[in-house]
Amino acid sequence: MISFLVFVWWIVLFIRFFVANPYTVVWASMAPTFTENDFIIVDKITPRFSQLQRGDVIVFVPPGKTIPYIKRVIWLPWETVKIINDGVKICKTENNIEQCNTLPEPYLTWSVKTEWRCGINDFKIDTWSFFVMGDNRWFSTDSRCCFWLDCYAWSSYEVPFDNIIGKVYLRFFPNFRTF
């Protein structure tokens, strides 16, 4: 009986540390998609074996911080991004020609506007990092302004791949008042 309980305990620990983690959403930076106190399950395996896509919701810990953040992947590595009055443009340069497309964001409500912050509105990602923003753009501490870390002025912060805990897989026990 004790050996069975030890075996089960090892399976639980393995899943908890290597497969999936439970988290509770803090703050309202991802509203209305995720609200404060939503309970989520984070898949730790998928980001390690497949590429993250634009629009994926991830959990990560920025350097200098100890609490995990939940944000949406907006821009992928090696892209240039421009925040304009009515949204976001993703730009790629091929043969010295810059081609920009407006980012469709169906997860945002019609009233949400993406404004630039900290004096910059063009971002270029040159590393294996991800630019992330919350769905509640007015109240989101995100890559646009360095997560309010001690960064130099006029800078952004891209989330390094190694800082990503995982991709949000499932939401349990959401705040039913929003439905």
Residue 103 neighbours by CB distance under 10 Å: 17
C-alpha triplet 21, 23, 27: angle, nearest 5°: 155
The two structure tokens encoding residue 30:
């991802």
Banded model confidence at residue 123, pLDDT cuts 50, 70, 90? low
Question: Each residue of 56-110: pLDDT tens digit?
Answer: 999 998 877 788 999 999 887 777 778 876 678 888 776 666 788 888 888 887 7
User: Which residues sit opposite 26 in a β-bridge?
Assistant: none
169: exposed, middle or buried (Cβ count in 10 Å: 0-12, 13-18, 19+)? middle
Spell out the domain ranges in the chain.
Answer: 19-178
Q: What is the DSSP string of 66-124?
A: -S-EEEEEEE-TT-EEEEETTEEEEEEEETTEEEEEEPP-TTS-TT-----BTTB-EEE
Is 156 among the catalytic positions? Answer: no
CB 123 within 8 A of CB 65: no
pLDDT beyond 60 at 179: no
State pTM to two decimals.
Answer: 0.80
Please give the CATH superfamily to which domain 19-178 belongs.
Umud Fragment, subunit A (2.10.109.10)
Mean pLDDT within 149-173: 76
Q: Which stretch of 72-76, 111-115, 146-150 has the lowest confidence by average pLDDT?
A: 146-150
22: enclosing H helix or E strand: strand 20-24
Question: Each residue of 12-50: pLDDT tens digit?
Answer: 888 888 888 888 888 888 888 888 888 999 999 988 888
Is residue 153 helix, strand or coil? coil
For the chain, give the longest Cα–Cα distance. 68
- pLDDT: which is higher, 14 or 155: 14
Is 167 among the catalytic positions? Answer: no
Which has the closest alpha carbon to 61: 170, 157, 174, 127? Answer: 157
DSSP secondary structure code for residue 60 in this structure: E
Name the catalytic one among 29, 129, 140, 156.
29
C-alpha triplet 144, 128, 82: angle, nearest 5°: 35
Name the catalytic one among 44, 50, 71, 111.
71
| Separation of alpha carbons 55 and 63, rounded Å | 22
